[in-house]
Amino acid sequence: MGNADYEYPSIMGEQTGIGIHKVEIPPPQPFFKSLKNTVKETLFPDDPLRQFKNQTPFRKFVLGVQYFFPIFEWGSRYNFGFFKSDLIAGITIASLAIPQGISYAKLGNLPPILGLYSSFIPPLVYALMGSSRDLAVGTVAVGSLLMASMLGNEVNAAENPTLYLHLAFTATFFTGLFEVALGFFRLGFIVDFLSHATIVGFMGGAATVVILQQLKGILGLQHFTHATDVVSVLRSVFSQTHQWRWESAVLGFCFLFYLMLAKFLSQKRPKLFWISAMAPLTSVILGTILVYITHAEKHGVAVIGELKKGINPPSIMDLSFGSKYLTTAIKTGIVTGVIALAEGIAVGRSFAMFKNYHIDGNKEMIAFGMMNIVGSCTSCYLTTGPFSRSAVNFNAGCKTAVSNIVMALAVMVTLMLLTPLFHFTPLVVLSSIIIAAMLGLIDYNAAIHLWHVDKFDFLVCMSAYIGVVFGNIEIGLVMAVGLSLLRVLLFVARPRTLVLGNIPNSMIYRNVEQYPNTNNVPGVLILDIGAPIYFTNSSYLRERISRWIDDEEDKLKSSGETTLQYVILDMGAVGNIDTSGISMFEEVKKNLDRRDLKLVLANPGAEVMKKLNKSKFTETLGQEWMFLTVGEAVEACSYMLHSCKPKTSEDGESQKWSNHV
């Protein structure tokens, strides 16, 4: 075929009997209009401002208030039937929140009373601003452990408890600030970099670490390592065998057995969910009575001790903005904020799917952020929407976020009247409650599913797990996110290119490996490019296309079939292209010209055509070599092979082709 000029008939579509349509170049748009559309698609894909269109100023104000405070939207439809359901659900989750709150505060090396404070104010804020009907707000074990690990690397909670407490409040403030910023600027997609595989591995690893940390309470040990890796924890446990307290161990394993039995019964019979929900509070009550009667605190069983009576004191003056550890507090706040958002939004969306309603992820981020900002000023630490508490709320039949208000009021009554009753609560019961809750976070079934479906996702999952268990939480998180980002880069830098063939008796062209019965088109190589073309993959695509051509020519040469004449690139999946990609096309065209081959483009999108036109590549290639579909491109190439004459031909004869596609 060579570089000779061809007579390309303008009526080729009529002669082939196939409608050949011209690929249009989109009309030019002003720069600022194009920028506006790009920003809108990136940051506002759900078009949250649509509801404000064509509304009066007063109506816009009302809609704005309802947007940031959804309670004013659904509150007008609230009725007594909803309240009865929310009342039962709120009391039920309060029975779980009280012991869990105390337990998780101890896990974070914070005063136990902070766990109750954090189950009072933040749920009230979320009830006003949250959009989920089922999310139950409170502290979480993983967040508590993460805060203890990151702050504990700089400040020892036992040696300097006041500074540690102030840093915890400061980190919580920056968590809230970070979450509000993500939601307000519509940057929630950043959290999506924590893939499902990452979360499964990270949560499983963190749960394993938390369980191992609770051996201190179960065995009644006084001195324990501050490290979180499994080697350090086991070394600390088995180097103190002479200090193990059998009384504490027996008590701990008995309550753990009771908690696991209650969970098992609730799973077998979902209507008995209240047994599992009430089990932690029942354990606390029974453990407290047992210790009080037997005076077990005098025999090595550690107890909580005095809890301060009264509701949350203000802590706004305790925020340590001028501390030399401010950088640590900011880093802790951001990392814990990402984890809290990932868990809270995932839990909220899961239950919203069950009840067939929608929650706005960016609006949820603002709600989470505000409850942490307000919480940091009222003696609370990190809160989000934990799965265990939300599952109980869902199963208890909650209808709206009023269940959070009921829970908060129940915790308030506890703070004002009942805190002295927790004086003799044994720490070993709290350890049992934490272990029972954490066992549910080790989702081995999800890991097995990842192995069967996607080995790379399984590798990401296990990297997160191993990094957390054998390193620390930060290492596990960095490893998992790093591998996830590496996979994204591989998808972009090494896009799939496939050879397409014709499905018999159709104009459909599909992957020859997926559809082995497809037919090759003589003299034509059809390649599908499966990603946008950027500087990261342009060199790879140039080399890969060249290799496909080499392989095809070698195959045709060995079989003695028709020589390769055309290379069609299916651009359907190429949503965009940059200048490096355009340069790649220019190089590919020059390379094909040297090899007496013709480059043909099929189905280029609007953005691609706009840039190819501006770069003059459409003129270089010739717009007649651009087609709407692969089928039209093949028909045109087939016509050219058998009906068009090169101007340099001496005999005027064109080769006949009998096997028309």
| pLDDT at res. 548 | 92
- Residue 6, pLDDT > 60, answer no
Cα 660 from chain centroid (whole Å): 50
Length of the chain: 661
In this prediction, what percent of the chain has a pLDDT beyond 90?
34
Bridge partners (DSSP) of residue 432 are none
Write out the two tokens for 320: 């340590």
- For the chain, give the mean pLDDT: 85
356's enclosing H/E stretch is none
29 contacts: CB under 8 Å, gap ≥ 6? 37
Average pLDDT over residues 121-131: 94
- Residue 242, pLDDT > 80, answer yes
Please name each of the domains of the chain with its CATH number: 72-486 (no CATH), 494-642 (3.30.750.24)
Rounded Cα distance, 313 and 316, in Å: 10
pLDDT digits (tens, 9 = 90+) for 529-557: 988 999 999 999 999 999 999 998 888 88
- 3-class secondary structure, 228: coil
Helix locations, 494-605, DSSP H = 538-559, 579-594
Give the other-Cβ count within 10 Å of 504's Cβ: 10
| pLDDT at res. 14 | 47
Average pLDDT over residues 574-584: 93
Rounded Cα distance, 467 and 411, in Å: 37
Residue 420 vs residue 191, higher pLDDT: 420
pLDDT confidence tier of residue 645, bands split at 50, 70 and 90: very low
pLDDT confidence tier of residue 19, bands split at 50, 70 and 90: low
624-650 burial: b if 16+ Cβ within 10 Å, else e: ebbbbbbbbbbbbbbbbbebeeeeeee
- 3-class secondary structure, 633: helix
Are 509 and 630 in contact, with CB atoms under 8 Å apart?
yes
In this prediction, what percent of the chain has a pLDDT beyond 70?
94
Rounded Cα distance, 148 and 152, in Å: 5
Are 109 and 433 in contact, with CB atoms under 8 Å apart?
no
Contacts of 640-644 with CB under 8 Å at 24 or more apart are 640/6, 640/8, 640/566, 641/523, 641/565, 641/566, 643/9, 643/15, 644/6, 644/7, 644/8, 644/9
Residue 157's alpha-carbon distances to 200, 304, 307, 312, in angstroms, are 30, 17, 18, 21
| pLDDT at res. 17 | 47
Rounded Cα distance, 550 and 546, in Å: 6
- Reference 147, options 383, 343, 332; nearest CA is 332
Rounded Cα distance, 353 and 350, in Å: 5
Hunting for tokens 């939480």 — which residue is that? 473
| pLDDT at res. 503 | 92
pLDDT confidence tier of residue 11, bands split at 50, 70 and 90: very low
pLDDT confidence tier of residue 644, bands split at 50, 70 and 90: low
- Reference 439, options 225, 189, 264, 615; nearest CA is 264
- Residue 370, pLDDT > 90, answer yes
pLDDT digits (tens, 9 = 90+) for 478-493: 887 888 888 888 888 8
- Residue 12, pLDDT > 50, answer no
- Look at 118-122, 166-170, 228-232, 449-453 and tell me which has the smallest mean pLDDT: 228-232
386 contacts: CB under 8 Å, gap ≥ 6? 100, 136, 138, 139, 140, 343, 347
pLDDT digits (tens, 9 = 90+) for 380-419: 999 998 887 888 888 888 899 999 999 999 999 999 988 8
Residue 48 vs residue 121, higher pLDDT: 121
Average pLDDT over residues 131-136: 90
| pLDDT at res. 2 | 40
Which segment, 197-206, 249-258, 261-270, 369-378, is predicted with the most confidence on average?
A: 369-378
